[in-house]
A and B are shown apart, each in its own frame.
Chain A
Amino acid sequence: MSVLGIILGGVLVNNFIFMQYLGLCPFLGVSKGLDMAMGMSGAVVFVMTVASAVTAALEQFVLHPLGLEYLRTIAYILVIASFVQLVEIFMKKALPGLYQALGIYLPLITTNCAVLGVAMLNVRNSYGVVMSTVNGFAGAVGWSLAIIIFAGIRERWKLMDIPSVLEGFPLALISTGLMSLAFLGFSGLFKNLVK
């Protein structure tokens, strides 16, 4: 599987939101405005890329050689939780500007199932450390694309007259469904590159 295949797969064909149902809670919760969506996207791209690299390295150099695969779930979630905490502390000191921008979104990422999800998918597809990192990055970009499009749509709701029974979640889910239907079209493209 080529790098290009992984990137196209992660961003379009196997989009995390529309095709794999990963990371829906923050997708629905933090998409009220474009600014918020972009802030969250930045944080997710960063955390997911590095978390993929770290968990893949953990799998390759610790869990697999020691035969501890059954501890994978616990090990991964602890690594991700502590990594997010670490990033937060580091950014507060070293990059206060970026911390101001992303700070409030960082703690939320621990419970974003896309982060743990991509780590699990990397293992199932037996990607190495490099491919896992690429896959994590591509998945995060796909997730960001979805939430930014959706935030744009939600901003337009403010101008519309929505039936009260559809307000909030029902309309959000139906819109997501229609967008997902559009993304279903990508599954026929790039057949030679993406499995």
Chain B
Amino acid sequence: MNKSKVSLGYDFVKGFIDENPTFKLAIGMCPTLAVTTSVINGFWMGVSVVFVLAFSNVFVSALRKVIPDEIRIPVFVIFIATPVVIVELLMRAYLPAIYDILGIFVPLIVVNCLIIHRAEAFAYRQPVINSLMDGLGSGMAFTINLMVIGAIREFLGTGQIAFGSVAFPEVPLFEPAAVMLTPPGGFITLGVLMALLNIAVARVNKRKKAGSDIGYGNC
């Protein structure tokens, strides 16, 4: 596709399917697994990432012509670390309970591959408004992924899904499997989810080879 004709709408939407951070690119795996013991944790982590990603994409893109190529990574890191500190302070002030649960994974947003990947692969080459859309799109897709994984693990691990003080269903329908809330449960849930997605993709598109290759390890 011709780069100049790519629309703002596509820049927003592509994060959900074509360039889905978790299932297509498989980046940002640490928070994807670490904070998804419940829907609500996944949600707050996702919101933080949306904010940081939009902020860093806009600044990287606005200054893309001034940033020297050799030191672009340290410069990106500064644009990423600044909003992370803002999120950290805001969360500690207004959501102390969530801040305690997410723990070191809030400051670790700085080294989330997703953010540096979007800065390097998109914002450093594209206009500001497109970068903003890209950041919002990828960030929201990431949030949805976290919430879906969180929902599965919370439901199987505790027997219910809690939103604040309301839980559904009120009484667990089965004996909850606490292993889903432990690290092995996280790895296996995501692995099975990816396999199911591969089956779905293979069904939809028979000629496309299913199975993703592990190729994004350089970040």
Pick from B28, B89, B183, B218: contact of A180, CB under 8 Å: B183
User: What residues of B have a CB within 8 angstroms of the CB of A173 in the complex?
Assistant: 187-188, 190-191, 194
Are B108 and A120 closer than 8 Å at their CB atoms? yes
Q: A4 an interface residue at 8 Å Cβ cutoff? A: no
Q: How far is the CA of A81 from the CA of B81 in the complex (A)?
A: 12
Q: A190 an interface residue at 8 Å Cβ cutoff? A: no
Q: How far is the CA of A184 from the CA of B108 in the complex (A)?
A: 24
Q: How far is the CA of A71 from the CA of B213 in the complex (A)?
A: 38
Closest CB in chain A relative to B213 CB, distance in Å: 5
Contacts A116-B111, A173-B187, A184-B182 aside, 6 further interface pairs with beta carbons under 8 A come to A81-B74, A120-B104, A173-B191, A178-B184, A180-B184, A184-B183
Closest CB in chain B relative to A73 CB, distance in Å: 4
Q: How far is the CA of A166 from the CA of B29 in the complex (A)?
A: 18
Interface centre among B31, B103, B112, B188 (most CB of A within 10 A): B188
User: What residues of A have a CB within 8 angstroms of the CB of B30 in the complex?
Assistant: 21-25, 113
Given contacts A108-B219, A173-B194, are A71 and B85 in contact (CB under 8 A)? yes
Given contacts A73-B110, A111-B116, A180-B183, are A169 and B194 in contact (CB under 8 A)? yes
Closest CB in chain A relative to B87 CB, distance in Å: 10
Q: A70 an interface residue at 8 Å Cβ cutoff? A: yes
Given contacts A25-B29, A120-B108, are A74 and B212 in contact (CB under 8 A)? no
Are A21 and B183 closer than 8 Å at their CB atoms? yes
6 A-B pairs with C-beta separation under 8 A: A19-B183, A23-B30, A28-B26, A110-B77, A113-B111, A177-B188
Are A74 and B89 closer than 8 Å at their CB atoms? no
Pick from A74, A111, A178, A181: contact of B111, CB under 8 Å: A111
Q: How far is the CA of A71 from the CA of B85 in the complex (A)?
A: 7
Question: Which chain B residues in 202-219 approach chain A with CB under 8 Å?
Answer: 202, 209-219
Closest CB in chain A relative to B131 CB, distance in Å: 20
Q: Chain A interface (Cβ within 8 Å of chain B)?
A: 18-26, 28-30, 32, 70-74, 77-78, 81-82, 108, 110-113, 115-117, 120-121, 124, 164-174, 176-178, 180-181, 184
A107 (CB) vs chain B CBs: closest residue = B73
Are A29 and B191 closer than 8 Å at their CB atoms? no
Are B210 and A30 closer than 8 Å at their CB atoms? no
Closest CB in chain B relative to A5 CB, distance in Å: 20
B34 (CB) vs chain A CBs: closest residue = A21
Are B211 and A168 closer than 8 Å at their CB atoms? yes
User: What residues of B have a CB within 8 angstroms of the CB of A181 in the complex?
Assistant: 179, 184
Given contacts A120-B108, A171-B191, are A165 and B81 in contact (CB under 8 A)? no
Closest CB in chain A relative to B204 CB, distance in Å: 13
Q: How far is the CA of A77 from the CA of B78 in the complex (A)?
A: 9
Contact flags B80-123 to A (C-beta < 8 A → 1, else 0): 01101100110000000000000110011011110010000000
